[in-house]
Structure 1
Amino acid sequence: MMLRKSRFGWLAAGLLVAVAADATELPVCLTRAADETPRAAVMKIQPADEELLARLTYAEGRSTSFADDPRVYQGIAWGVMNRVRLSAVSASSRRQYGSGVAGVIFQPQQFNPAVSPRSAFAKDFLCPQHAARWRLAVDATLAARRGQENPLIQTAWERRRDLSLVVNFYYPQSPQARGPLAPWEGSRALRFIGDVPIDGGVLSAERIRFYRLARPPGDVRDEPTR
């Protein structure tokens, strides 16, 4: 099952750091039994949050049809971490999105391209094989985990709390997309935000459509969180 070693580790203080000398080193390649879910297969190795998020970002990035665009990976990683951070300060968000990196990633019906047993991209979640794209996913993951200069923090409410309400995103040109617009496009609870400035450029909504909560959760604690 294990074909490559992991490149992730932890500092004693709980800070993340990549430990491999080779910046493009791929993670452990996993296989799963016919009756095993991608979640069960990957959690057997108890990956650090950074590796788990990088795997998710890599597979979801592949599913967008723009697997060589670094901003696609950045947008996905920031979107996931927005859910993680919002859930950390809101019980209602925790119930909706899950708790922690693993809880958010494996929340049912949320990241189906990467974690659904029926998805063609689940194999990318279990066994990333493209070193350059893996590097893009890792870089995006580490930036989003650090939490500095979040490109999806745009409103006054978000800036005051250092907390983004952009928690929904959709890949309109994915082979798994049901159409160019997200199923929740007309929801009063969400607002489409358009193109997103990221890393000195723009992530087009033609590649990822992002949506902000129309109203903050009523139970958000006031202190900011990273």
Structure 2
Amino acid sequence: MSGKQVFLQFIQNISTPYLHEGFVATQKGLILKQRIESSDFELVLKFHAIQSEVKTSVQLSCLVMVVSEQLKAWRLQKYRSKDLAVDTVFIANLNDVIPALPKKFSWEINSKNLDDQTAVFSELLSTYVNPIFEQFRSREALIAYTIEQGWRFNVNMSPKQFVYPLDFMACFASYEENCLGFNNFIKQEGLVGQARRIYKEMSSPKYKGYIRSDAIEDKLFQQAYLHKIPIW
């Protein structure tokens, strides 16, 4: 089989359990979606083949997403910008939510290892992705979790990458819940001093409308300041 044929067979194998759970496949199975009516979220898995030098094999890339039209509409109303009005609630590459894999591990899929790789990736999705999706089936439970635990749903997720979801909380939670969740996050991650520094910089008469930092945490603190979230 060609690399493309192998990949499509792999996707079909991987997708079967999700289709049984109510997911819908589009683009030849490369995208799996399930809308959760009770929470207004849509769970999304996107598979992508990276062509290797050998035409008989491909490398897998998998994106884990949750989207919401309600959040998109909220962002458009809040920021008055179509560029900022995205529907993304949560996004991660598969390798960002799983443990570090052995150096010898390969993301390559070919006709010889098709069955083995199907088993490996099915286990990774079942163990690490499905529990993340479960968090989004109840909006109220997700808000409560975020207030206490932040935006990391397992120990493999980096605090540098999965910071507090301010827009999500501003859209779906109360202002008081957002304040509590934000303050819990900066205390748990040891970021109170860093947050105060950004708040002080932004409240200064010398503030020019931007901060000289590309750190994801500092961008969060700038956003929190503009949302009038106090630091306790």
Query: TM-score, with normalisation over the residues of structure 2?
Result: 0.28
Higher-Rg member (1/2): 2
Q: Which has the higher contact order (CA 8 A, sep 6+)?
A: 1
Structure showing the higher helix proportion among its residues = 2
